[in-house]
Structure 1
Amino acid sequence: MLTDTHTHLNVVQFDEDREAVIQRALDQGVTRMVNVGFNRETIPSSIALAEKYDFIYTTVGWHPQDAITMEPGDLEWLEQLCSHKKVVAIGEIGLDYYWDTSPKEVQDRVFREQIRLARKVGLPIVIHNRDAHHDIVKVLKEEQASEVGGIMHCFSGSWETAKQCLDMNFHISFGGPITFKNAVQPKEVLAKVPLDRLLIETDSPYLTPHPFRGKRNESAYVRLVAEAAAEIKGISVEELARITTDNAVKLLKFGEFGDHC
């Protein structure tokens, strides 16, 4: 019973075989998938996907790479969407200092606005962090994000950063990179993260795990992430799957519709 807490099944890479991709995930024991809407284009299609499949849920948010495209009315739109029965979190939101698509000050403003929205509506947040560890922690602290907590998506930081996030009520999620031979730090951090705060994901179609690295990722491959995480933790894959699914259910409240806003 696996849960993929971060996937992008609505993107163009799946247009030709989306139903088959979803079926393969079910065949691998994936019982829930959280599809992530992250801008004006992907949010409606993510919601539509969640409406079509009982076992797919969605997030809504503005990705830092797209922060510059966010207009004044978009925050109000996100707030309205929070009452949808399949919306389980606000995200992915955060800071991205790798891609030079939105100025840092714009990313910072949009990030803070969405944290405040999450606190207002009582939803957890899903954090995108690329090359911005210090500033991510700073903003989360200053905006009192611990009130809602959430997910540090595809975590790539140090154990020191992970500890600060854990202290702020966040879960730490790992994806395909923990299957890479040269990914020393993510494996070391995963080994230290408490089991009750651990999540797994694919971020498909990106970050494909070994042995399919370089090809399109898909939610079925979350089993490969679970196998790698279980080995690092020294427990069975079945136990790892059960624990991470329980963690996702408690945090994202699957099925408790209408309670968020």
Structure 2
Amino acid sequence: MYIDTHCHLNFPELYKNRKAVVERAVTAGVGKIITIGTDIESSVKSIEIAKEFPEVFAAAGVHPTDLLNVTDNWQNELLDLLKHSKVVALGEIGLDYYWETTKPEDQRRFFSEQIQIAKSIKLPMIIHNRQADDDIKSILLKQNYFNGVLHCYSSDDNFALEMIELGLQLSFTGNITYGSKKLQRVLQAVPLERIMLETDAPFITPVPHKGKINEPAYIPLIAQNIAKLKELSIETVANTTTQTALGFFNINS
């Protein structure tokens, strides 16, 4: 069994056909799916989807580029959502210095405040990091909470090793099928036990489907790429990444 630890079934491209999307995933061996919120509204939708399907779980959080979508009462609203039985993580949260849609200082404040929430209720975090390695590290160190996964990992191998030394996990998407030497070095440097799989669907579709809408059924393509690069069997990659994800998100197998 595989687990897609990060996708957006709440986004229109997947939501309208969500039943078929989940069925295709299960047929492909993807037995569990986590759908991720990016603000309060999309987090509510993620939970509603998780309630529809036994295979689907949810995460709730405020994404760094979606800070303007929430009210002044966002922290209380988020805390209420995080109490739901199918919510397995706080996310996605973090920093994004690529899209200049929100102020970096606001991003850092929201990230810090959401780490504090996760720490207070002992939930794992799903962390978005785009061109913000130094600030991600400094905020995590300041908050002294490392129960998180760096999703859609795109930084270098040195930063990867620093993060796993702190106790974080890394997850990889279809971007590892695009031939990036940098990501190949990361995958070779990081122990399989610290890796999880994700599609980030509907985005970052793996080869050979690049250019089409991504979906959880494509998780085996990502696993195959990791198996080839690390010279392991596909069964080893599937079993190890699944056990890591089940433990990290505290999901019963």
Q: Distance in 2 between matches of 1:196 and 1:225?
A: 16
The answer to whether residue 86 in structure 2 is matched with residue 86 in structure 1 is yes
Structure 2-normalised TM-score?
A: 0.97
Aligned partners of 2:90 and 2:124 also within 8 Å: yes
Deviation, structure 1 residue 186: 1.0
Q: Counterpart of 1:247?
A: 244
| Range with greater deviation from structure 2 (9-18 or 220-229) | 9-18
Deviation, structure 1 residue 15: 3.7
Q: What is the aligned counterpart of 1:175 among 173, 176, 194? A: 173
Q: Counterpart of 1:259?
A: none
For residue 29 of structure 1, what is the amino acid of its counterpart? G
Q: Distance in 1 between matches of 2:101 and 2:91?
A: 18
Q: Counterpart of 1:72?
A: 72
SS at match of 1:213: coil
Within a 5 Å distance, the mapping from 1:20-59 to structure 2 comes to 20-59=20-59
Q: Distance in 1 between matches of 2:148 and 2:66?
A: 21
For residue 180 of structure 1, what is the amino acid of its counterpart? Y
Aligned partners of 2:44 and 2:81 also within 8 Å: no
Aligned partners of 1:79 and 1:121 also within 8 Å: no
RMSD of equivalent CA atoms: 1.2
Within a 5 Å distance, the mapping from 1:1-261 to structure 2 comes to 1-146=1-146, 149-181=147-179, 183-255=180-252
SS at match of 1:145: coil
Aligned partners of 1:145 and 1:168 also within 8 Å: no
Per-residue Cα deviation, 1:120-143 (whole angstroms, up to 9, x for no partner): 000010000111111111111111
Aligned partners of 1:37 and 1:58 also within 8 Å: yes
Q: Distance in 2 between matches of 1:68 and 1:11?
A: 18
For residue 163 of structure 1, what is the amino acid of its counterpart? L
Q: Distance in 2 between matches of 1:79 and 1:121?
A: 9
SS at match of 1:62: coil
Q: Distance in 2 between matches of 1:53 and 1:186?
A: 33
For residue 227 of structure 2, what is the amino acid of its counterpart? A
Count of aligned pairs between the two proteins: 253
Deviation, structure 1 residue 68: 3.2
For residue 248 of structure 1, what is the amino acid of its counterpart? A
Deviation, structure 1 residue 86: 0.6
Aligned partners of 2:14 and 2:215 also within 8 Å: no
SS at match of 1:43: helix
The gaps in structure 2 that reach 5 residues or longer are: none
Percent of aligned positions with the same letter in both sequences? 38
SS at match of 1:126: strand
